[in-house]
């Protein structure tokens, strides 16, 4: 699979690809599926909108996401998935943690784990659940406030409906960006209160996907 998209967050274009390395087989072959997913995103804002335009380079616009996805269909109803990822930003800038007003230094590389499950309630309906755990911590210049500088995990739930021609997903979770590396390194929403980023920024977001299914 190959694709591209655009999001208004920093006027970002992203290009992605997914490749099935192994496929689970019922008789012989591999007992699991192994898939690679990659994403490259480009921030297309004007140069003077970056934190330090005096030393800005064109390569500072780019960030990357690499993920290996290990999955297995346990039964006809239950499927499980485990994924490890690394996000890379060509340029990172010290920023103020909105929760503590302390200055934090971000890393160029960020590691994370994710675990997901899908359970078929019926032939047309499935329940989805996913949890993302960041592994890399952000260094705070104030040791007493270091924990609050770290990116927050994500918990999401969803319902999937399938018809003969379409697949619909309705879900809610903590992540607020379409770009995976931004979610993993910069998420501030966690829990059921207001976000630490802004009093108007909710902890939970609602999403919707629609996929057209073809018979050939």
Domain residue ranges of the chain, discontinuous segments joined by +: 2-212
- The residue ranges of DSSP E strands in the chain, in sequence order, are 2-7, 12-22, 33-43, 62-73, 78-89, 95-96, 103-105, 109-120, 125-134, 139-140, 154-162, 166-173, 205-212
**What mean pLDDT do residues 119-143 have?**
87
Q: State pLDDT tens for residues 58-112.
A: 999 999 999 999 999 999 999 999 999 999 999 887 665 555 555 566 788 999 9
Q: Which three-class secondary structure state does DSSP give residue 150? A: coil
- Per-residue pLDDT tens over the stretch 156-205: 999 999 998 999 999 999 998 899 999 998 888 776 544 444 444 568 88
Q: What is the mean pLDDT of residues 42-61?
A: 89
Residue 43 to residue 57: CA distance in whole angstroms: 12
The confidence score (pLDDT) of residue 199 equals: 42
DSSP state of 138: P
Instruction: State the pLDDT at residue 92.
Output: 82
Interatomic CA distance for residues 113 and 59, integer angstroms: 27
Question: CB of 30 within 8 A of CB of 20?
Answer: no
CA distance 180 to 173: 14
Give 129's contacts (C-beta < 8 A, 6+ positions apart): 116, 117, 156, 157, 158
CA distance 89 to 109: 7
Give the global pTM: 0.84
Q: What is the pLDDT of residue 26?
A: 81
Assign domain 2-212 to its CATH architecture: Beta Barrel (2.40)
- Does the CA dihedral 213-204-183-12 come out positive or negative? positive
| pLDDT, tens digit (0-9, with 9 covering 90-100), for 3-46 | 999 999 889 999 999 999 999 998 778 999 999 999 999 999 99
**pLDDT at position 50 over 90:** no
Q: What is the pLDDT of residue 216?
A: 64
């Amino acid at each position: 699979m190959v694709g591209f998209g655009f999001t208004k967050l920093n006027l970002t274009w992203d290009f992605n690809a997914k490749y099935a390395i192994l496929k689970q087989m019922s008789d012989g072959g591999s007992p699991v599926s192994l898939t690679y997913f990659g994403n490259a995103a480009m921030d297309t804002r004007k140069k003077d909108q970056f934190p330090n335009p005096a030393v800005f380079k064109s390569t500072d616009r780019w960030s990357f996401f690499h993920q290996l996805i290990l999955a297995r269909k346990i039964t006809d109803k239950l499927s499980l998935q485990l994924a490890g990822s690394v996000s890379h930003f060509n340029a990172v800038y010290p920023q103020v943690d909105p929760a503590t007003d302390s200055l934090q230094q971000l890393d160029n590389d960020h590691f994370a784990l994710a675990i997901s499950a899908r359970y078929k309630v019926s032939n047309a309906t499935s329940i989805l659940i996913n949890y993302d755990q960041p592994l890399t911590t952000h260094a705070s210049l104030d040791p007493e406030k270091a924990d609050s500088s770290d990116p927050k995990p994500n918990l999401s739930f969803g319902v999937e409906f399938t018809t003969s021609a379409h697949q619909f997903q309705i879900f809610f979770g903590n992540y607020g960006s379409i770009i995976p590396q931004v979610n993993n390194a910069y998420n501030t929403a966690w829990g059921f209160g207001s976000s630490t980023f802004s009093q108007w920024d909710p902890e939970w977001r609602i999403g919707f996907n629609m996929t057209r299914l073809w018979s050939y």
